Amino acid sequence: MEDHIHEIDRKRSAIRLISILSFAHMGVDFVCAFSLYHSFGKFPQVFLLYNFCAFALQLPIGMIADLLSQRYEDRNIAATLITMAGIFLTCIGAFLSPLVTGLGNALFHSGGGILTINEDDDNGFKGRGLGVFVAPGALGLALGMLYYGSDLYGTILAVVEVLLIGLGLAVWLLHKREKVSLRFSLSDGIWTKIFICFLVVVIRSLCGMAIVFPWKNSDWRIIVSVIALALGKSAGGFFAARFGIRRTVILSLSLCFITYFFSGNMVMGLVSLFLFNMTMPITLYLLAKEMKGMPGFAFGILTFALFIGYLPVLYGYVRNAGPVPLGPIASLLSLVLLLVFERC
């Protein structure tokens, strides 16, 4: 009986921590986009430097965090401190430089990602926690990009940063001392599996940046589309845990292949966004399970893939593409790659 009560308390604590990290994720991405577009919207070259810091640096930061977690008896202390440092740097970076906010973003995502992966794995959430954590960031980015020109810029920024600092303190208060129970362990064929997940995320990033829907022509439609995207990321974890990864991947991407052909219609476009983004937590879950004791490395590899997917759009090789044929092709390729992953 006591063990059952302890398990319930542990899961409740994990849900609280993941919820706090999720709200902080939205806040961090909001502050980054809000301050970047407000101060540097006319300097496109700055966006490359920011995205490099925010996404590419998560790979080395994650690797360092993994090494630190193995070195100290407390498995979560490094990730917790990195998360808090990320929030702090994001807040002060909004007044200093996009390079500072980019580094803060990378630190937060790396630390928060590690904590979420650990909690998800320890409590048998099977990817549910991962979907909840990654989903709100897109909404924060969208709101920051849309309303950076507000007359209340300073007030809004101050309020969000105060809330963020409070969430950072909450992360510390919920920090749980746990001994390292598992050393580094890589599965057979891990480099092939890494390559497959990397490609899937590159494809998703490229489509997310390049595809332009004809109906996304007002603020509220953009926000609705981002909500659909975020709900898809969250739902992917829950569907995979309930019905299995294989079924979820086949169903979501097969339907997405079809709906993209009709995505010029707003409803079908929203359905396409929802379905296409369901693989987000699945790829992270699959890779983290194959790289035991290395959650920061797994998370960093996939965020680096996001950065790579952004580059063709930045340099104009793929830009302002219609949903057809890019959407259906991306859905089909992602489906094939993830089915190949299963057989590796």
Q: Which of 128, 113, 123, 54 is nearest to 83 (CA)?
A: 113
- Burial level of 333, CB count in 10 A (0-12/13-18/19+)? middle
* Residue 90 contacts residue 108 (beta carbons within 8 Å): yes
**Apex 35 CA angle, 31 and 41, nearest 5:** 135
| DSSP summary character for residue 186 | E
186-344: same fold as 1-181? yes
What distance, in Å, lies between the first and last C-alpha atoms of the chain?
41
- Burial level of 4, CB count in 10 A (0-12/13-18/19+)? exposed
Domain ranges in the chain are 1-181, 186-344
- Count the helices and strands in the chain (H runs, E runs): 15, 2
State pTM to two decimals. 0.94
pLDDT tens digit string along 21-77?
A: 999 999 999 999 999 999 887 777 888 899 999 999 999 999 999 998 887 777 789
Domain spanning 1-181 has what CATH number? 1.20.1250
pLDDT at 180: 63
High-pLDDT (> 70) share of the chain, %: 97
What is the rounded distance in angstroms from the CA atom of residue 151 to the CA atom of residue 145?
14
Other CB atoms closer than 10 Å to residue 64's CB: what's the count?
16
pLDDT at 262: 97
φ and ψ of 178, to 5 deg: -135, 135
* Beta-strand pair 185-186/291-292: antiparallel
Superfamily (CATH) of domain 186-344: MFS general substrate transporter like domains (1.20.1250.20)
Strand partners, 185: 292
| DSSP summary character for residue 180 | -
pLDDT for 222 beyond 90: yes
Cis preceding-peptide flag for 325 (omega within 30 of 0): yes
pLDDT tens digit string along 180-202?
A: 666 677 777 899 999 999 999 99
Identify the weakest region by mean pLDDT among 184-198, 232-246, 330-344.
184-198
> Which one-letter amino acid corresponds to residue 325?
P
Q: DSSP labels for 81-116?
A: HHHHHHHHHHHHHTTT-HHHHHHHHHHHHHHHHHHH
